[in-house]
């Protein structure tokens, strides 16, 4: 790209996007700056797509930097992302692993449940790892402790399904009724809920989420990407397919 044209684009981008460093614009004198602005204005009149292309290029560059940073952070915490203590669903040896940070009270997590279950039913190459992340108050902590205690009886999935359908202000009597209906040992479950190991697991999940800059639920780690927010089935399948392609390289 000719130096003057590139300078024009940088100056225009700096003027239109305040977050962009303006060092490139500051190297010109006021007279040169005025001349460049005049050239840019004329160019935009003749071809308005210049601004669109410049902004698109800057956005693509930002996205690439964000993806690289995300991959670096995930690589640094890979050993914490999937641990033997984590409850799982789907294919234990699946080609693609999805790590789901969720809160039992989160309405978006709840709304995504049928989508995730449909994905697991249709794609047998996906391993799902649950990271209980109780960030919405004491009822969330209660729900997470109950689920992790149920894992010790092989009942995590069953109780999770029940808890995610309960009123969001989950109470101990609600959990007891669901656990007993599912045939879980309530005395053992209640005792295990107070286990220091379960609290340590929750603390580790919270610490990991903070390290990954996850501040809301649901948040998914799919392959080498952190995907915030709930996804519909098409977008979820798209992310899984991208992760599969990346794994093949």
CATH of the domain at 95: 3.40.30.10
- The reported pLDDT for the residue numbered 70 is 64
Question: Based on the domain organization, do 40 and 90 belong to the same domain?
Answer: no
Q: Point out which residues pair with 98 in neighbouring strands.
A: 128, 222
Question: Based on the domain organization, do 106 and 228 belong to the same domain?
Answer: yes
Rounded-to-integer distance, Cα 36 and Cα 227, Å: 41
- Model confidence band, residue 52 (pLDDT cutoffs 50, 70, 90): confident
- pLDDT top residue among 100 and 60: 100
Of 17-21, 82-86, 183-187, give the lowest mean pLDDT range: 17-21
232 falls within a domain: yes
Q: Which residues constitute the domain of residue 164?
A: 78-248
pTM over 0.85: no
Question: Based on the domain organization, do 212 and 239 belong to the same domain?
Answer: yes
């Amino acid at each position: 790209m000719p130096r003057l044209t590139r300078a024009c684009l940088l100056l225009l981008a700096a003027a239109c996007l305040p977050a962009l460093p303006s060092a490139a614009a500051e190297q010109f004198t006021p007279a040169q700056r005025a001349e460049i602005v005049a050239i840019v204005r004329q160019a935009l009149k003749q071809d308005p797509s210049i601004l669109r292309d410049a902004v698109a290029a800057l956005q693509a560059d930002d996205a690439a930097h964000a993806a690289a940073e995300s991959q670096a952070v995930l690589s640094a915490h890979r050993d914490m992302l999937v641990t033997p203590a984590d409850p799982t669903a789907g294919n234990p040896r699946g080609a693609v692993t999805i790590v789901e940070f969720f809160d039992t009270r989160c309405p978006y997590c709840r709304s995504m449940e049928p989508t995730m279950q449909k994905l697991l039913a249709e794609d047998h190459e996906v391993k799902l790892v649950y990271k209980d992340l109780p960030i919405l108050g004491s009822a969330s902590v209660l729900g997470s402790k109950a689920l992790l205690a149920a894992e010790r009886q092989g009942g995590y999935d069953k109780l999770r399904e029940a808890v995610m359908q309960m009123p969001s202000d989950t109470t101990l009597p609600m959990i007891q009724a669901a656990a007993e209906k599912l045939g879980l040992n309530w005395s053992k479950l209640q005792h295990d809920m107070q286990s220091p190991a379960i609290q340590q697991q929750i603390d580790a999940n919270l610490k990991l989420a903070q390290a990954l800059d996850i501040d809301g639920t649901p948040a998914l780690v799919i392959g080498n990407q952190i995907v915030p927010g709930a996804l519909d089935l098409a977008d979820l399948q798209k992310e899984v397919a991208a992760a599969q392609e990346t794994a093949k390289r």
